[in-house]
Chain A
Amino acid sequence: MAEAGDRAIPTRIAETLDKVGRGAVRGVAEVGLGAMLFWQSIYFIFLGRSREQPLRIAATFERAMEVGIRALPIVTMLSVTMGIMFAIQGIYTLRVFGAEEQVTIGLGISIVREFGPLLTGIMVAGRTGSSLAARIGTMRISQEVDALEVMGINPVRFLVAPALIAMIVMVPLLTLWADLMMLIGAGWYVSVDLGMSFAAYATRIIEVVEVNDLLHGLAKATLFSILITLVGVINGASVEGGAEGVGRMTTRSVVLSISAIIVTDMIFAFITTRS
């Protein structure tokens, strides 16, 4: 028994190391695949027409509608709610110091620089990233991706490039909308709770928020849009084993996208606040 136990420990260590090693190799391979997909998409977006492989304009508009316009109701509702929540918390915290009126500074800067892009990124990851992974995964198991290849149609041009350009355009626009809705939600609560007029609140926000803050948020939103698209495509393209596989990779896509958004957000904030 003791011998069997002694043997089991190195075996378990070896199995763990094996799993870690395989996970690391897979991670590196996925990063490489993501970089290749991004490069190829950019190639087709800018040089496709001259190489007789043009970007599919109709599909790009359809994707843009899906990413942006059809997401407006949910983004509006959640943004207004989050704005009210930030105002409640902000006023509650500043009341300790008797500085409730200063809540507009925190609201303006944190919403435009941080919470607008983050909330939009997370919502788009859950909504569009998952549907992209599921769509490509379903196409893969029903041999539609193979069909594209054997028809001489590059799947990256056909599937990835329209999704990527639609996301790069629509996610920053959606972020601007989310910023506005959060600020309106917060402004409504501030005016009710502090008795400040909405016009005074708006003037204060315009004074506080600089163009740089806006650009900071939009740059992050653009980065998030690329991450969500690539994570969705990579996971969709890795689907194996039928409908169950599609479900598994769709979930993985959402989890990885949100994780990537949060980590990137932290790194971005760290780098941009150093200079």
Chain B
Amino acid sequence: MNNPAANRDLARQRPDLSDAPMVIDIQKLVTHYGSREILHSINLGVREGEIMVIMGGSGSGKSTLLNTLLGLLRPTSGQVHILGEDLTQISDVEKTLLRRKIGVAFQGGALFGSLNVLENIMLPLREHTKLDVNTMRIMARLKMQVVNLAGFEHLMPSELSGGMIKRAAFARAVVMDPKILFCDEPSAGLDPIVASAIDDLILNLRDAMGMSVVVVTHELESAFRIADRITVLDKGDILMTGTVDEIRSAKNERIQNLLNRRTETETLDPDEYLKRLTAAND
């Protein structure tokens, strides 16, 4: 880490949240895709006001975990409590009510192509509140100012740059003042300056609005900058959950491989390999 900005952020004062209540509590979560088990009995908690980064390589199960938390995937077993509600037990109506308290910034923005930026941001307000249009416009414009998008209200999503799409997605995600914000790969595909600005935005949103933030990413630098705690996922298991310093000093080989961007080399015993081949042909 020779980047002075990154060093400055690593040294930032992180709040002590050890006494804060849990807003997400996952117990023994197992999730399948078809017959394939993706998440193997995972336990994880996120505290109020905390920025939890879920990190892992491709195929580690982090997207599956996020989709399960968002209720887009049904878990096979286990419990997922979000703001005190067990996702596995609540009805669809209760799930809809719960979803009004969470915001999601998708990896590609997921802005609706037929609506302009302001209409996209206003959409949750239109659907879930009875505010008049002018009030909704004011609220949406306020959020646009927070994400530095003021003045771009009438552009269509196809006219925005990658960074602007992410910002608009953040504005839409927080327009209802959610208690939890989920971000899927917020800095993926962005140049380092824009990615750094997105990291700042996440920190500012948490500080200004006091929400808990769950960020799924494989960008190490970004994770170290914003995280209060990091959970490292690997092949559907949690290898470790800890603070940035704890993760950096972890002795676990797989965590170090991930941090140092080393590929895992599988050492094969020739006899074992031959046995496997013979078994496959039988």
Contacts and interface: CB of A to CB of B under 8 A. Distances in A.
B96 A150 contact: no
B123 A151 contact: yes
B68 interface: no
Given A150-B70, A152-B99, A143 B106 contact: yes
Interface string A138-158: 110011101101111110000
Interface in B116-130: 123-124, 127-128
A147 B96 contact: no
Interface in B150-174: none
B124 A144 contact: no
A251 to B, nearest CB: 22
18 contacts: A138-B113, A139-B112, A143-B106, A143-B108, A143-B110, A144-B110, A144-B111, A144-B112, A146-B70, A146-B106, A146-B110, A147-B106, A149-B72, A150-B71, A152-B96, A152-B97, A153-B123, A153-B127
Contacts of A138: 113
B241 to A, nearest CB: 24
Interface residues of B, number: 21
Interface string B89-116: 0000001110110101011101111000
Interface of A: 138-139, 142-144, 146-147, 149-154
A142 B72 contact: no
Contacts of B111: 144
Contact of A143 (B100, B102, B107): B107
Contacts of B104: 147, 150-151
Q: List the 10 shortest-distance A-B pairs measured between CB atoms, nearest first.
A: A152-B99, A147-B110, A143-B110, A152-B96, A150-B104, A143-B106, A150-B70, A144-B110, A153-B127, A151-B124
A147 B99 CA distance: 11
Interface in B168-183: none
A144 B123 CA distance: 13
A142 to B, nearest CB: 6
Nearest to B102: A150
Interface of B: 70-72, 95-97, 99-100, 102, 104, 106-108, 110-113, 123-124, 127-128
B71 A142 contact: no
Nearest to A143: B110
Nearest to A145: B110
Contacts of A150: 70-72, 99, 102, 104
B108 A146 contact: no
Residue of B95, B99, B110, B124 most packed against chain A (CB within 10 A): B110
A149 B71 CA distance: 9
Contacts of B71: 149-150
Nearest to B98: A152
Contacts, number: 48
Contacts of B97: 152
Given A143-B108, A144-B110, A146-B106, A151 B99 contact: yes
A146 B71 CA distance: 10
Contacts of A149: 70-72, 99
A197 B52 CA distance: 82
A143 B185 CA distance: 13
A6 B96 CA distance: 57
B120 to A, nearest CB: 10
Nearest to A154: B96
Contacts of B123: 151, 153
B100 A152 contact: yes
Given A152-B96, A152-B97, A152-B99, A146 B127 contact: no
A144 B108 CA distance: 9
Nearest to B100: A152
Contact of A151 (B72, B107, B127): B127
B125 to A, nearest CB: 11
Contacts of A152: 95-97, 99-100, 124, 127-128
A159 to B, nearest CB: 10
Contacts of B128: 152
Given A143-B106, A150-B104, 12 more contacts: A139-B112, A144-B112, A144-B113, A147-B104, A147-B110, A149-B70, A150-B70, A150-B72, A152-B100, A152-B124, A153-B123, A153-B124
Nearest to B107: A143
Nearest to A149: B72
Nearest to A153: B127
Nearest to B97: A152
Contacts of B110: 142-144, 146-147
A151 B127 CA distance: 9
Contacts of B107: 143
Nearest to B182: A150
Contacts of A142: 108, 110
A82 B171 CA distance: 53
Contacts of B112: 139, 144, 147
